[in-house]
Amino acid sequence: MKHEIAISTPENLEEIWPGSYNLFSWLDYVVNIPQPIFIITTRKENGAPNACLHAWGFLVGDRDNYTSILGVMDSTHTYANILREGEWCLNYPSLDDYQKCFETIHVNEAGNDEISEAGLTVEATQVIRAPRIAECQVNIECRLEWSRPLVENSQWHLMAGRVVHVAMDDQALAVDPAKKMTNMRLMYNIRGTINPISGEIYGPNSLGLISEVVKAFDQGANGQ
């Protein structure tokens, strides 16, 4: 049976954590479509590497306009760094570096090297000044094109950056999609969950692998 779900936040909805439905729409916990985890690396004002664990963004674009779109909170260092430096790098970590990825949140200070302090390795970029993370099999260097609030007075901002360089490990270049996904071991952000019909809440956030790739198109189909 399919349910039609009212979009406004229910009154007296139990908070998963303080402010959970201010920072994120309660619908994000209801819909809960997994998004791939990446780390945004930027350059701090003193030149040190900044690392921000992230799930809110995607890649889109025609011909030479491949573009990273990010949803960024304006309270983060990442937001300020991108506005000042005009650059960022997307780094896609594997489940093997789960703990180190979360450590980036705990070493979030003003002038420190967050990549090294989280136990990861700084790697030089090719085109931009922001650093890369060596352990990540895919690094995508981006230059800011535009930034705007999601809606008026929102703490969320959309930032679009043209992809200016890509680096990929042999493992991530496997052409068989199942092999490629197995090699990359990408993590997905799976939220705490709300069932709006029963009122049931499962609080903790999870990270998980998408472990099965089904070949939906016949051999030879172009897959558009």
Least distance CB 51 / ligand FMN (angstroms): 7
Q: Which of residues 57-96 bind ligand FMN (CB under 6 A)?
A: 76-78
Q: Which of 129, 151, 126 is nearest to 74 (CA)?
A: 151
CB 162 within 8 A of CB 143: yes
Query: What's the min distance (Å) between Cβ of 76 and ligand FMN?
Result: 3
Is residue 91 a contact partner of residue 84, using CB atoms and an 8 Å limit? no
Q: Which two tokens stand for residue 146?
A: 């535009």
Out of 13, 27, 30, 55, point to the residue binding ligand FMN (CB under 6 A). 55
Site for ligand FMN contains 189 (CB under 6 A): yes
How many residues touch ligand FMN under the rule CB under 6 A: the total is 13
d(CA 152, CA 157): 10
**Looking at 108, 125, 137, 139, which residue binds ligand FMN (CB under 6 A)?**
108
Q: Is 191 in the site for ligand FMN (CB under 6 A)?
A: no
Taking the complex as a whole, how short is the minimal distance between the CB of residue 43 and ligand FMN, in angstroms? 12
Please say which residue, 107 or 174, places its beta carbon nearer to ligand FMN: 107
Whether the CA torsion 133, 138, 141, 142 is positive or negative: it is negative
Say how far apart CA 121 and CA 93 lie, in whole Å.
12
Complex with ligand FMN: residue 95 or 174, whichever CB lies closer: 95
Residues 6+ apart with CB under 8 A from 188: 34, 35, 36, 37, 55, 207, 208, 209, 210
Quote the tokens at residue 190: 């799976």
**Which CB atom, from 42 or from 137, has the smaller least distance to ligand FMN?**
42
In the complex, least distance from residue 135 CB atom to ligand FMN, rounded to whole angstroms: 17
Please report, for residues 53, 108, 143, 174, 176, the alpha-carbon distance to residue 103 in angstroms, rounded to integers and kept in the order given.
Answer: 9, 9, 26, 29, 32
Beta carbon of residue 191, minimum distance to ligand FMN (angstroms, whole number): 9
Q: CB nearer to ligand FMN: give 53 or 136.
A: 53
Residues that bind ligand FMN (CB under 6 A): 37, 50, 52-55, 76-78, 105, 108, 189, 205
